[in-house]
Structure formats: C-alpha cells, structure tokens
Amino acid sequence: MAGQTEMPREAIITPANIQDSPTQDAVPTQVDWPTEEDRALRPQKMAEMIGQRDVFRRLEISIRASQKRKETLGHILLDGPPGLGKTTFATCIPRELGVSMQIGNGATLKSPKDVVPYLTNAEEGSVLFIDEIHRMQKSVEEFLYPAMEDFRIDLTLGEGINARTLNIQLKPFTLIGATTRSGLISAPLRDRFQIREHLDFYSIEELSVIIRRSSGKLNIKIEDDAAYEIAFRSRGTPRLANNRLRWVRDYADAKANGEITLSVAMEALEMQGIDKLGLDPQDRRFLDTILRVFRGGPVGLESIAHTLNLEPDTLSAEIEPFMLRSELLIRTPKGRCLTEKGFRHLGANPSDYLTMDSPLFKITEPQP
C-alpha cells in the first residue's frame, strides 16, 4: 500500500536534506513557511538551541534511550505560544535520530483521507510533524488513534451493505504535534503522546545570547548592551528577537554606520512603536481596549476580540500569554482584568476606572 497513495503537497524530507520547510513545489498555501534568512538563523541541532534546558535534557534522554534500544521514539506533543521553538525542536529531532521527516499542518487535515498519505509514506522510525495539531478535524483525530497506538489504520471502502474495512499495517513512526492551544487538544489525543513538553518564554539573558549569535550569522556588529535592550523588548520570544534584530540592522544600515549601538537599537525600536516592555502597537491596543472600553475589566475575551475586530484565538494564543506572564493582565472567573501594573503601563490611574466588579476594588474600612 505504501507508495501507492498520492503524496500531499508537503514533501518528504530525508535526514540529509532536512531544511525548515519542504521544497518550493511542496509549500502548502495555508502555512507561512520561513524565509531563507529565518532558515539561516534557526538552530540545526538541539545542542545549538539556547534555553529550554529542562525540555532539552528530557528530550535528549528519550532520544538516546530509543536509539540504544533501537526502538521508535515515542510520540511527542510540544505546546507553547508562537515563536518559542516548537518547530525548531521538531526539525532538530529527526536530525538527531538520523531519520526522514514529513511536515503537515492540522489546518489542512480536514478528513482522514488527507492524513492517509503521510501515514502510508512514513518510513520506519521516521518523524511526522503536524504543526497546529489542535486545528485537525475530529474525524482525523479519531482516525489517528490506532495509527499512533498500534501503527494501524482502518479504511472503510464502499458504502452501506457493501462497505468493508481494510486494515493497513504502518511502519512504526514518531508523531510530533505542535500546538499553541493545548487546551483545545482532546484528552484521548493528548494521552496518546508519550512525551509532552511545554515551552515557556525565554529569559532576557537567553534572548541576548540568541541575538548575539544571530548577529554573527547575519554579519552585523552589535554592542552587548544593544543586544540586551533588543532582548528586553522581545516579549521573551526568539522569533520576535530575531525579527527585531533584523529591523534594527536595517535601521543601523540606513541611519547609522551599520553598527548596532544601544542608542541605535533604542531609536529603531521606538520608531517601530515597541515600548519599554517590548509591547508593539497591537499589544497596546489590546490593553487599551480593556482600559477605555471596558474600564479595566472584567471582560470576556470574545468581547475584546469583537471590539478589536480580531479572532479570539489570535488574542488567546498570540497576544494574551505574554500579558499574563508579565502581570499586566489577570484572568478571573468573570473575565480579563488589568492589573495595577497594566493600568500604570498605559499611564492610567486605577482608581479613575475601577468598578465594583474589579479585583482591584477593595472596600477600605473607615479609619477610626
């Protein structure tokens, strides 16, 4: 059966040619594949990755153990906000194992027939990486259960009384799923991943190292305090750190003599509207809407999303996690509320906005 099914537009990648993305012909339209420069900056081996040390150590043990036992590595679920290294881990793992890799995206897997070619084409011990796995249809998810557990798929051929089931044995493979919305993964799917790792935001020191390394790869001179400043304003996220570095490099080339000093970095970031905490104009619009329209909250995410004309998913996966992490916002049973730090960051005085529903509202006993 293997090889008879038509390969989807994402390509098979062998250990020798693993890049971050499939070949140009194979690029699926729904997926934003990285540019050449992104590829140049992405670590090629797990040992080159900065930070996420605990995740790195645990994955390394599982990889070495599976190699020693000559067994297929267990399925891995990586979750965490965008830009923290899920795809980087997923592309480094097959290189460590010396196996081939296929890349798919949950958003394109709309029915079981979409996933069949990946499964039947999977080589022994190879990796199938499904990004945004939470976006897979339920029918695809259920179809994957026997594939993940017993490396078997059950295909139904024909309809009604003529229907018959064909069981196809697959070669053992490792599924790596990545998601920004682990809450949307059903318990039966989650439980079928033997290894589950959560990627957290990076420290400023870790991001500084990433920025200095990326500057080296991009051939730019950067002062240490400039690297630190860019790191400080990168929302704990390597992808943003690299994006901001590229902008600062453009600015330095156009306005200064090409060298990134602290003042060049600060001017460039300010010109892009990135504030002292690293929030960009969209992040601030999110906080500002809670402040002005909803008087600091509590307010439901859907209401904020409607006001901003954005998808609630974008807010909860991309914008909100860093706000919660930096204590500008809290989630309460009644909805999102600005914290005192959140009010102050917007230059507002909490007492001018508080409603009785706000967790900041306290009834102070009259002093005797």
For residue 319, the minimal CB distance to ligand ADP (Å) is: 15
Name the active-site residue from 108, 174, 180, 339.
180
For residue 228, the minimal CB distance to ligand ADP (Å) is: 16
Name the active-site residue from 135, 235, 239, 249.
239
How far lies 46's CA from each of 13, 59, 78, 95, in Å?
18, 9, 14, 9
* 334 is known as an active-site residue: no
* 171 is known as an active-site residue: no
Could you count the other beta carbons within 10 Å of the beta carbon of residue 330? 17
* 49 touches ligand ADP by CB under 6 A: yes
* 210 touches ligand ADP by CB under 6 A: yes
Instruction: Report the 3 state secondary structure along the chain.
Output: CCCCCCCCCCCEECHHHCCCCCCHHHCCCCCCCCCHHHHHHCCCCHHHCCCCHHHHHHHHHHHHHHHHHCCCCCCEEEECCCCCCHHHHHHHHHHHHCCCEEEEEHHHCCCHHHHHHHHHHCCCCCEEEEECHHHCCHHHHHHHHHHHHHCEEEEEECCHHHCEEEEEECCCCEEEEEECCHHHCCHHHHHCCCEEEECCCCCHHHHHHHHHHHHHHCCCCECHHHHHHHHHCCCCCHHHHHHHHHHHHHHHHHHCCCCECHHHHHHHHHHCCCCCCCCCHHHHHHHHHHHHCCCCCCECHHHHHHHHCCCHHHHHHHHHHHHHHCCCEEEECCEEEECHHHHHHCCCCHHHCCCCCCCCCCCCCCCC
* 359 touches ligand ADP by CB under 6 A: no
Name the active-site residue from 42, 86, 135, 212.
86
* 255 is known as an active-site residue: no
* 38 touches ligand ADP by CB under 6 A: yes
Of residues 238 through 277, those in contact with ligand ADP by CB under 6 A are: 238-239, 242
* 85 touches ligand ADP by CB under 6 A: yes
Of residues 153 through 172, those in contact with ligand ADP by CB under 6 A are: none
210 contacts 241 by C-beta, under 8 angstroms:
yes
* 336 is known as an active-site residue: no
| CA–CA dist 140, 163 (Å, integer) | 20
Binding residue (CB under 6 A) for ligand ADP from 82, 146, 172, 312: 82
* 86 is known as an active-site residue: yes
Q: Which residue stretch of 45-53, 215-223, 278-286, 296-304 sits at the interface with ligand ADP (rule: CB under 6 A)?
A: 45-53
* 83 touches ligand ADP by CB under 6 A: yes
Binding residue (CB under 6 A) for ligand ADP from 72, 88, 215, 326: 88
Q: Which residue stretch of 36-44, 114-122, 246-254, 302-310 sits at the interface with ligand ADP (rule: CB under 6 A)?
A: 36-44
> For ligand ADP, what does the binding mask look like between residues 213 and 242, x meaning CB under 6 A?
-------------------------xx--x
Binding residue (CB under 6 A) for ligand ADP from 12, 50, 77, 136: 50
Q: Which residue stretch of 24-32, 34-42, 266-274, 355-363 sits at the interface with ligand ADP (rule: CB under 6 A)?
A: 34-42
* 43 touches ligand ADP by CB under 6 A: yes
Residue number closest to ligand ADP, CB atom: 85
Sites of contact with ligand ADP (CB under 6 A): 34, 38, 41-43, 49-52, 82-88, 178, 210, 238-239, 242
Residues identified as active-site:
86-87, 131, 180, 239
